[in-house]
Amino acid sequence: MKSSPNRVLTVGINGDQKFLNSCSFALEQLGCGVKEYDYYQKFLNKKHLFLPYVGDITEKINYLSINNELISITQNFKPDFILLIKCNPVFPSTIELLQKKFNIKIFNWNPDNPFNRLNTNWLHKKAIKHFDIYFIWGKFLVGMLENYGAKEVVYLPFCYDPRFFVPVSGIEEKDKIYDVVFIGTWEKERELELENLTEFNLSIWGNSWENLKSNSPLKKFLKGKAVYGQALSEIYAKSKIILNFIRKQNGNAHNTRTFEVPACRQFLLTARTKEQLEFFQEGKEIECFGDLIELKQKILFYLRNPKLRAEIANNAYLKSYSNTFKNRMSQVLEIYKEATYCK
C-alpha cells in the first residue's frame, strides 16, 4: 500500500493570488511530485477569431485546446490523482475519459461559489456530478452541491500561504500610518458600507473603484489598485485596523482575509459570521461587528487601545499555523488515501 501519492497534477489559473501555485507548492512540501498546468497563460493576448454569422469563436477553440492539452498532460505525466482548482473550461466528457482511461481520481476545490453566475458557467455546473470529490470552502454550500448531484462533497476551508503572508519585522505602533484599511474589489454594497465610515482616516486599495459615483466622499481615501502577496503583508503591517466585509455569496462562512491578516500578526475587524468564530475567538483573537453602530464603536475603541489590538493580533497569529495551504493539502492527501485504498 502506498503511504502517499507520488504524482499529482494540479490544474487551474494562478492569476494574481496564485491559489493554484500555493496548492502545488504545499503538495511538494508534503513529498508529492507535482506538475502544474496553468491553462490560462497559453491564451493571454491571443487574437480573437470571428466567423461570419457566428461571431467570436475564440472561447470555444480555447476550451477545446485546454481539454485536449489536459488529456495529453495526463497521459504523459501519469498522475495518481488530479486536483482541479475550479476550472470552468473542463468538459464533463473529459473528466469521464480521464477517470476511465487512466483509472485516476479527479478532485475539484472551488474557491468561488459554484452557484453564483458571476463566478461559474454552465459547463462547470454540468461537471459537478462527475468529480470524485468536490471540495468546498463554505459549509452552507455542501448540501446545495449534494442536492445538485455531486458524488461526494468535503468541506475544505480557505487558508493562507506562509511564503507571502508573514509578520513584517521592525514595524512599531508609531509606524502604523493607516488607521482603518480596506483592501478589496469595488462593489456597490462595499461602497455604501465604507461611505458610512468617512469620519475615520480610511485607506482603500482594490480594483474597479473607478466605479464610485463622481461625488463620492470615498475618492479621497483611494490609495491604489489591488495588492497581493508580500506587498499586502507590508500594508497590513502599517495598518492599525484591517476591515473585512464578507460578501453575500460567502454566506455565514469566511474568506481568505480571515486567515491572511492573523498570519501577518495584525488586527482584524470582520463582519461576524458563524464559521469565522469556529476558527478564532471573538474579543481574544479577532474582533467582529454585526451592524454599523457596533462597527463604529469598535473602530473608535481599538484606535484608542493599541496594546489591546496588538494582544489580540498576536493571539490570532499563534492560532494561524493550522490554517496553511500545507494543512489543507494534507487533508486532501488523507482523503485521497481513504478513497483509494481503504474501501
DSSP secondary structure string for all residues of 214-228: TT-GGGGGEEES---
Question: Nearest Cα to 132, choosing from 153, 156, 102, 158?
Answer: 153
Q: What's the mean pLDDT in 95-101?
A: 97
Whether 331 maps to a domain, the answer reads yes
The three cell numbers of residue 45 are 493576448
Residues 270 and 330 in one domain: no
Residues 134 and 37 in one domain: yes
Cell 502517499 -> residue: 4
pLDDT digits (tens, 9 = 90+) for 169-226: 999 999 999 999 999 999 999 999 999 999 999 999 999 999 999 999 999 999 999 9
Residues 45 and 152 in one domain: yes
pLDDT attached to residue 272: 97
In the beta sheet, which residues pair with residue 154?
A: 135
At 119, the pLDDT band (50, 70, 90 cuts) reads: confident
Counting residues of the chain whose pLDDT is more than 90, the rounded percentage is 84
Q: What's the mean pLDDT in 139-151?
A: 97
Q: Residue 343 pLDDT more than 60? A: no
pLDDT digits (tens, 9 = 90+) for 286-296: 999 999 999 99
In the chain the first and final C-alpha atoms are separated, in Å, by: 13
At 91, the pLDDT band (50, 70, 90 cuts) reads: very high
Whether 1 maps to a domain, the answer reads no
Distance of CA 194 to the CA centre of its chain: 23
Q: Residue 31 pLDDT more than 60? A: yes
Between 338 and 200, name the one with better pLDDT: 200
Q: Which amino acid is at 284?
A: K
Residues 313 and 202 in one domain: yes
pLDDT digits (tens, 9 = 90+) for 230-247: 899 999 999 999 999 998
Residues 23 and 34 in one domain: yes
Compute the Cα dihedral for 178, 246, 156, 103 and give only its sign: negative
Residues 94 and 203 in one domain: no
Residues 310 and 230 in one domain: yes
pLDDT attached to residue 286: 98
Quote the CA–CA distance of 82 and 72 in Å, as a whole number: 13
Quote the CA–CA distance of 49 and 228 in Å, as a whole number: 33
Q: What count of Cα atoms within 13 Å lies in the side-chain half-sphere of residue 218?
A: 27
For the residues of 148-166, what is the DSSP string, one character each?
TT-S-EEE----B-TTT--
Q: What's the mean pLDDT in 259-270?
A: 98
Q: How many structural domains does the chain have? A: 2
Ramachandran region of residue 94, left (φ > 0), alpha (ψ -120 to 50) or beta? Answer: alpha
Residues 133 and 240 in one domain: no
Whether 282 maps to a domain, the answer reads yes
Q: Which residues of 260-271 are buried (b: 16+ CB within 10 A; e: fewer)?
A: bbbbbbbbbbbb
Quote the CA–CA distance of 7 and 192 in Å, as a whole number: 48
pLDDT attached to residue 1: 45
Whether 104 maps to a domain, the answer reads yes
**Range of the structural domain that residue 221 is part of:** 173-322
Give 53's DSSP letter: T
Q: Residue 47 pLDDT more than 70? A: no
Q: Residue 74 pLDDT more than 50? A: yes
Residues 91 and 217 in one domain: no
Q: Which residues of 16-46 are buried (b: 16+ CB within 10 A; e: fewer)?
A: ebbbbbbbbbbbeebebebbbbbbeeeeeee
Whether 83 maps to a domain, the answer reads yes
Quote the CA–CA distance of 128 and 150 in Å, as a whole number: 6
Mean pLDDT of the chain: 93
Residues 149 and 234 in one domain: no
At 49, the pLDDT band (50, 70, 90 cuts) reads: low
Q: Which residues of 272-298 are buried (b: 16+ CB within 10 A; e: fewer)?
A: bbebbbebbeeeebbbbbeeeeebeeb
Residues 240 and 316 in one domain: yes
Identify the CATH number of the domain in which residue 126 sits: 3.40.50.2000
Residues 143 and 196 in one domain: no
Whether 167 maps to a domain, the answer reads no
